[in-house]
Amino acid sequence: MYPFLRLGRVTLGALWGRRLEPLEESRLRLRVWLGDLDSNLHLNNGRFLTLMDLGRWDLAVRSGMLRVMLAQRWQPLVGGVLIRFRRPLPPLRAFHLCTRLLGWDHKWFFLEQRFEQDGHLKAQALVRFLVRRRGENLAPGEVAAALGYPAQSPPLPEVVQRWQEMEALV
């Protein structure tokens, strides 16, 4: 089940919280609830991906991206996720979900999302998404400019470049 109550809480927190500058990190404090658990009694691997939606939503609202996307009728679409699970997240414990925009290329925006608990990295993901309007992909540079982001993307990390190379082989 999609975590609509959490989404509502995140939305209210983002609307009344501090606005984020372009490329600044979103940091959500969440908790592992019993409905999030798998048979091993830790956060289900699929639930990690669902909770990552909340981090992207918080970033979009706090950075002003959502307002522009609604006004322009843009649709952000996730096109891929690379995730590495490092350590389990146990039940009923709080953790932080950190989300930040790394940069963009000619087609994709790239985000990093991290799950942290007690100073330990529990999972780390790279997410690529694009923005569409009326069935067409928009150039990330155009979208970035409309959002007030720098005209030029920051240098993308090597892992993003390798991901792009790997995708070209498939």
- CA nearest neighbour of 47 among 60, 58, 59, 34: 34
- All structural domains of the chain, each given as residue ranges with its CATH number in brackets, are 4-169 (3.10.129.10)
- Please compute the mean of the pLDDT values over residues 16-40 and round it to a whole number: 93
pLDDT by residue (tens digit) across 96-127? 999 999 999 999 999 999 999 999 999 999 99
- For 67, residues 6+ apart whose C-beta sits below 8 A from its C-beta are none
Give the mean pLDDT of 38-67.
95
Q: What is the mean pLDDT of the chain?
A: 94
22 neighbors 148 (Cβ within 8 angstroms)? yes
The whole-number average pLDDT for the span 132-154 is 91
Crossing angle of helices 45-63 and 65-72, rounded to 10°: 80
Region of 115 on the Ramachandran plot (φ > 0 left; ψ -120 to 50 alpha; else beta): beta
Encoded tokens for 140: 């990330």
What is the mean predicted confidence (pLDDT) over 74-91?
96
pLDDT of 22 strictly over 90? no
- What is the value of pTM for the model shown? 0.93
